[in-house]
């Protein structure tokens, strides 16, 4: 059987419209009751990367999170909580800053504990066999993944599969970038993480997406869609089609299929819309954006990567746009490399030591001024 991805059209963040579309979308997959039962503790996992206004497309919009929560409550699921392991700052302030905290208070849904850490073993892992999970994830019976449609400098795009990295407790998220320091190994770790946590359902907010220098410093772009699926690889593949990005250029898609998490090929996915069933390619042509700003270039061939004196001329690296930099030091704090690959001596702008840099782009993700680009 083909994997099903429901594509919903929604021009803006009108709460009632979003809820109506999500209700229809869930019905196409068998209803809320197919995925969650009333007795279970259900954790809602949005993308709360850093403090940002919801219209900036950095975080999952609170209107999408609250609409999905309302559907769960209507189905009799009362044991709900929400949270994410954030990049910089506290989850409380980030949730307050984007309006999610107020939305959840209105629904009497508490914030979960993402500060405490629990070490877990996963002997079935093909890349990662242990995780340092946020306590809330280990205490939940079921997880609902609420991702954001965005570009990503390491994996090209971040969606359903990548959003699960927020289940790792904050300190250990940074360490993970040093242990899995290239796109392929990081993708395989993410696939193992999804296989271990096993979210019941994946929802993507693409009403306003992010293109360009994502996942935090890019530009908002109206896409007017939401996606729902039980297959995160298929969902991300449809997202790629909407971006007019070849799905096999995204490591989480390729590795996800190899490791049995899901499927990415066009003929293995049905995209369900109100207008009928489409292939991902057809969905991209009808609802996508051909000039979506995303990295589409092929990677340097493996043989060239083995010749370091050649390959370093082709590697993508972060760099500082000094006119935007406010010398806050967040990039230095975000760098996971021991001894730091970036340093700051005020009043000068930060300086990279590219011999140490592992091109994880954590600095670029966390910069609040969009002062770090990648080239």
12-26, 171-185, 213-227: range with lowest mean pLDDT: 171-185
Q: Does position 68 have pLDDT exceeding 50, yes or no?
A: yes
What ranges make up the beta strands (E) of the chain?
3-9, 42-46, 80-82, 117-121, 130-134, 142-152, 156-158, 201-211, 219-229, 269-273, 276-278, 318-320, 342-343, 351-352, 372-374
Q: Taking 60 as the threshold, does the pLDDT of residue 208 lie above it?
A: yes
Distance CA(82)–CA(99), nearest Å, equals: 13
Residues 299, 315: Cα–Cα separation, whole Å: 9
Domain coverage including residue 59? 3-287
How buried is residue 284: exposed, middle or buried, by Cβ count under 10 Å (0-12/13-18/19+)? buried
Q: What is the CATH number of the domain that holds 362?
A: 3.30.70.20
- The pLDDT of residue 307: 52
Question: Is the pLDDT score of 374 beyond 80?
Answer: yes
**Same domain (yes/no): 54, 81:** yes
Q: Is the pTM of this model over 0.75?
A: yes
Which pLDDT value is given to residue 87?
75
- Are 213 and 307 within one domain? no
Whether residues 281 and 354 share a domain: the answer is no
Judged against a pLDDT cut of 90, whether residue 341 lies above it is answered with yes
* Domain co-membership, 323 together with 244: no
Per-residue pLDDT band for 314 (boundaries 50, 70, 90) equals low
Rounded to an integer, the average pLDDT of 139-151 is: 98
Q: How far apart are the first and last CA of the chain?
A: 41
Q: Which two tokens stand for residue 14?
A: 């009108």
Which three-class secondary structure state does DSSP give residue 29? Answer: coil
**Domain shared by 265 and 306, yes or no:** no
Among 228, 257, 287, the domain-final residue is: 287
294 within domain boundaries: no
Residue 306: the pLDDT is 54
CATH number of the domain within which 237 lies: 3.40.50
Could you give the C-alpha distances from 260 to 125, 210, 236, in angstroms and in order?
Answer: 12, 28, 15
Question: Is residue 297, in this structure, part of any structural domain at all?
Answer: no
Average pLDDT over residues 295-321: 67
257 in the same domain as 324: no
pLDDT of amino acid 301: 47
Give, for 45, the enclosing helix (H) or strand (E). strand 42-46
Report the run of H or E that residue 175 belongs to, with start and end. helix 170-179
What is the greatest pairwise CA distance in the chain?
A: 61
Q: Are residues 283 and 317 in the same domain?
A: no
Q: How far apart (Å, rounded) are the C-alpha atoms in residues 7 and 26?
A: 11
How far apart are alpha carbons 25 and 10 in whole angstroms? 12
Beta bridge partners of 119: 132
**Number of folded domains that form the chain:** 2
Joined together, the tokens standing for residue 151 give 């570009």
The overall average pLDDT reported for the chain is: 94
pLDDT in tens, 210-266: 999 999 999 999 999 999 999 999 999 999 999 999 999 999 999 999 999 999 999
Give the Cα-Cα-Cα angle 342, 348, 352 (nearest 5 degrees). Answer: 20
Query: What is the C-alpha separation between 346 and 325, in angstroms, rounded?
Result: 11
In a domain, 184, yes or no: yes
Please check whether residue 372 is in contact with residue 364, taking contact to mean a CB–CB distance below 8 angstroms: yes
**How far apart are the C-alpha atoms of 149 and 158, rounded to whole Å?**
7
- 224, 252, 287: which is the final residue of a domain? 287
Q: Check residue 174 and give its pLDDT.
A: 82
Which distant-in-sequence residues (6+ apart) come within 8 Å of 1 by Cβ? none
Q: Specify the pLDDT at position 347.
A: 87
Per-residue pLDDT for 311 more than 60?
Answer: no
Q: Are residues 53 and 13 in the same domain?
A: yes
- State whether 127 and 158 are in the same domain: yes
Q: What is the pLDDT of residue 310?
A: 52
């Amino acid at each position: 059987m083909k994997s099903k991805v429901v594509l919903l059209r929604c021009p803006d963040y009108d709460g009632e419209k979003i809820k109506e579309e999500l209700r229809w979308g869930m019905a196409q997959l068998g209803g809320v009751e197919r995925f969650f039962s009333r007795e279970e503790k259900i954790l809602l996992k949005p993308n709360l990367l850093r403090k940002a206004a919801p219209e900036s497309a950095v975080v999952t919009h609170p209107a999408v999170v609250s609409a999905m929560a309302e559907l769960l409550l209507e189905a009799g699921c009362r044991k709900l909580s929400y949270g994410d392991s954030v990049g910089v700052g506290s989850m409380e302030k980030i949730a307050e800053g984007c309006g999610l905290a107020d939305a959840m208070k209105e629904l009497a849904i508490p914030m979960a504990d993402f500060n405490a850490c629990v070490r877990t073993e996963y002997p079935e892992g093909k890349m990662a066999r242990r995780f340092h999970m946020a306590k809330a994830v280990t205490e939940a019976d079921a997880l609902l993944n609420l991702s954001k449609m965005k570009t990503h400098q390491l994996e090209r795009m971040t969606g359903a599969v990548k959003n699960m990295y927020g289940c790792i407790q904050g300190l250990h998220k940074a360490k993970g970038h040093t242990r899995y320091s290239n796109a392929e190994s990081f993708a395989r770790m993410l696939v193992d993480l999804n296989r271990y946590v096993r979210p019941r359902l994946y929802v993507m907010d693409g009403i306003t997406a992010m293109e360009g220098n994502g996942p935090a410093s890019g530009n908002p772009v109206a896409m007017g869609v939401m996606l729902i699926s039980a297959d995160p690889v298929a969902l991300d593949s449809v997202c790629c089609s909407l971006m007019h990005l070849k799905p096999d250029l995204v490591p989480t898609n390729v590795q996800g299929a190899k490791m049995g998490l899901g499927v990415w090929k066009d003929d293995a996915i049905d995209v369900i819309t109100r207008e009928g069933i489409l292939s991902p390619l057809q969905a991209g042509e009808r609802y996508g954006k051909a000039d979506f700003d995303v990295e589409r270039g092929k990677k340097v061939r493996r043989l060239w990567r083995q010749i370091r004196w050649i390959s370093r001329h082709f590697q993508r690296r972060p760099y500082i746009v000094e006119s935007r930099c406010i010398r806050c030091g967040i990039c230095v704090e975000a760098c996971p490399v021991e001894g730091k690959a970036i340093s700051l001596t005020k009043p000068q702008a930060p300086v990279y030591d590219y011999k140490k840099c592992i091109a994880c782009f954590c600095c670029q993700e966390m910069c609040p001024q969009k002062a770090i680009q990648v080239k």
